[in-house]
Amino acid sequence: MNIENAKNKFGILLEQQLERIKKIKATSAPINFAECKPIIIGVTSGDGIGPSITKASKDVLEFLLADAIAEGKVEIREIEGLTIERRAAENAAIPPAVLAELKACHVILKGPTTTPQAGDEWPNIESANVAMRKELDLFANVRPVRVPEKGIDWTFFRENTEGAYALGSQGIHVDDDLAIDFTVATTQGCERIIRAAFEYAKANGKKRVTAVTKSNVVKTTDGKFSVIAKEISKNYPGITLDEWYIDIMTAKLIDEKRRTQFEVMVLPNLYGDILTDEAAEFQGGVGTAGSANIGARYAMFEAIHGSAPRMVKEGRDIYADPASMMRASAMLLSHIGFIKESETLTKALDICTISEREITITGRDTGCTGDEFAAYIMKTCKSL
């Protein structure tokens, strides 16, 4: 009976994925921000340290976009309710009313959210990040890492809606001894993330795209990703495709001679999550790194780290580092066409976190607060 129940559940999952493929095929053309009046930026704080670092980042956005906001070209909306408490109370990864508000925006700046794990106090609801990526079809997670003095200039394209995370909360406990999880790869999903990586390389003068898989062992899903990468690469003369396995790739990122050769990397979901956290350490840790989640209609920008509930319990959330959210804000500005403002913020962050460091964030009262750091950033932006 347990096996029959597992078969039935697996059948339902297959039907859901086939329906998702239909939706991908019917995806509309990308949004033209020049035609949006106003461009609506939704800001949702999440939980844990989210409200603290999101407020600091929103202050900087409002400072840089002051003229555009005054002229009615941009509107910033605060969207509340993406907290673990409300999500747990409604037993929803994203409460329906919150999701409706998010869908009314063009782009979203999102604070970190708590993801329940086995044994904690919260129900087994799906990650809000995973749910948002699926609901808004944010298939491309783009994470840049730049450390010029070490010759590092990497851009990661992580597939966001498939892989090992797609059905992460829908595995099957066949019986007390056997649990099964699933990984998903579709032709359409692989094609669009790989093509996005090559298009980025082409537009930015990059000569190398690296596909990261474990296709020698995970032969069906990773194998599909690998085969499609090879096919798509044929359409991009002048750009070399190479493939590395995830295990050795984690080693090569710390190989001083090899790592400077990588430029654009494209990966399935789980591998992208792992490798980008490792990569972020080179520029100061996950607290310094932002990311973009791009789809045809929507885009969401966030820090790559979690909600750090321990900092809140210890009363240290006001000292949390907002640099990651501000890096994400710079990517948001570029995405909606405010290139000058994006470059100004990026330069200010480099000055305030690398070269000048007039004040520093330590995560404790030995350093400045997030609000004080935001003021430092705005003062630096004004001087540029």
Q: Is the backbone peptide bond immediately before 30 cis, with ω within 30 degrees of 0? A: no
pLDDT of 211 > 60? The answer is yes
Looking up tokens 């790194």 gives 289
More confident call, 174 vs 130: 174
174/9 Cα distance (integer angstroms): 10
383 lies in the same domain as 257:
no
Q: Give the structural domain span for 365.
A: 31-138+295-384
At residue 121, the pLDDT reads 82
159 lies in the same domain as 279:
yes
pLDDT of 229 > 90? The answer is yes
- Asked whether the beta carbons of 226 and 243 are under 8 A apart, the reply is yes
Q: Please report whether residue 3 resides in a domain.
A: no
**Which residues make beta-bridge pairs with 184?**
163
pLDDT of 183 > 70? The answer is yes
Q: Please report whether residue 61 resides in a domain.
A: yes
Picking from 297, 280, 293, the residue whose alpha carbon sits closest to that of residue 193 is 293
- Asked whether the beta carbons of 342 and 333 are under 8 A apart, the reply is yes
273 lies in the same domain as 150:
yes
Average pLDDT over residues 211-238: 97
Number of domains in the chain: 2
273 lies in the same domain as 181:
yes
Q: Please report whether residue 2 resides in a domain.
A: no
173 lies in the same domain as 216:
yes
Where residue 28 falls among pLDDT bands split at 50, 70, 90? low
Model pLDDT for residues 263-312, shown as the tens digit of each residue: 999 999 999 999 999 998 998 777 667 889 999 889 999 987 889 989 99
Two tokens, residue 106: 């063009």
Q: What angle do the packed helices 339-350 and 323-335 form, to 10 degrees?
A: 160
274 lies in the same domain as 322:
no
Looking up tokens 């925006």 gives 105
pLDDT of 119 > 80? The answer is no
Whole-prediction pTM value?
A: 0.79
Share of the chain above pLDDT 90, in %: 73
Q: Please report whether residue 377 resides in a domain.
A: yes
At residue 165, the pLDDT reads 84
Residues with Cβ < 8 Å from 355, sequence gap 6 or more? none
182 lies in the same domain as 273:
yes
Looking up tokens 């820090």 gives 303
User: Mind spelling out the 3-state secondary structure of the chain?
Assistant: CHHHHHHHHHHHHHHHHHHHHHHHHCCCCCCCHHHCCCEEEEEECCCCCHHHHHHHHHHHHHHHCHHHHHCCCEEEEECCCCCHHHHHHHCCCCCHHHHHHHHCCCEEEECCCCCCCCCCCCCCCCCHHHHHHHHCCCCEEEEEEEEHHHCEEEEEEEECCCECCCCCCCCEEEECCEEECCCECCHHHHHHHHHHHHHHHHHCCCCEEEEEECCCCCCCHHHHHHHHHHHHHCCCCCCEEEEEEHHHHHHHCCCCCCHHHCCEEEECHHHHHHHHHHHHHHHCCHHHCEEEEECCCCEEEEECCCCCHHHHHCCCHHHCCCHHHHHHHHHHHHHCCCHHHHHHHHHHHHHHHHHCCCCCCCCCCCCCCHHHHHHHHHHHHHHC
Model pLDDT for residues 132-167, shown as the tens digit of each residue: 988 998 999 999 898 888 999 999 999 988 999 888
pLDDT of 174 > 60? The answer is yes
Two tokens, residue 323: 């640099």
Average pLDDT over residues 321-326: 94
Q: Please report whether residue 17 resides in a domain.
A: no
pLDDT of 118 > 80? The answer is no
Q: Please report whether residue 188 resides in a domain.
A: yes
What is the domain-level CATH number for residue 269? Answer: 3.40.718.10
325 lies in the same domain as 358:
yes
pLDDT of 113 > 70? The answer is yes
156 lies in the same domain as 191:
yes
Q: Please report whether residue 10 resides in a domain.
A: no
Average pLDDT over residues 31-58: 94
Strands 178-180 and 74-78 turn out to be unpaired
Please tell me which of 34-38, 215-219, 289-293 the model is most confident about, judged by mean pLDDT. Answer: 215-219
The whole-chain average pLDDT of the chain stands at 92
Residues with Cβ < 8 Å from 270, sequence gap 6 or more? 163, 164, 165, 183
308 lies in the same domain as 211:
no
Q: Please report whether residue 5 resides in a domain.
A: no
Where residue 1 falls among pLDDT bands split at 50, 70, 90? low
Average pLDDT over residues 89-108: 96
173 lies in the same domain as 38:
no
Looking up tokens 């509930």 gives 309
367 lies in the same domain as 339:
yes
309/380 Cα distance (integer angstroms): 30
Domain boundary (289, 304, 323) is at 289
4/6 Cα distance (integer angstroms): 5
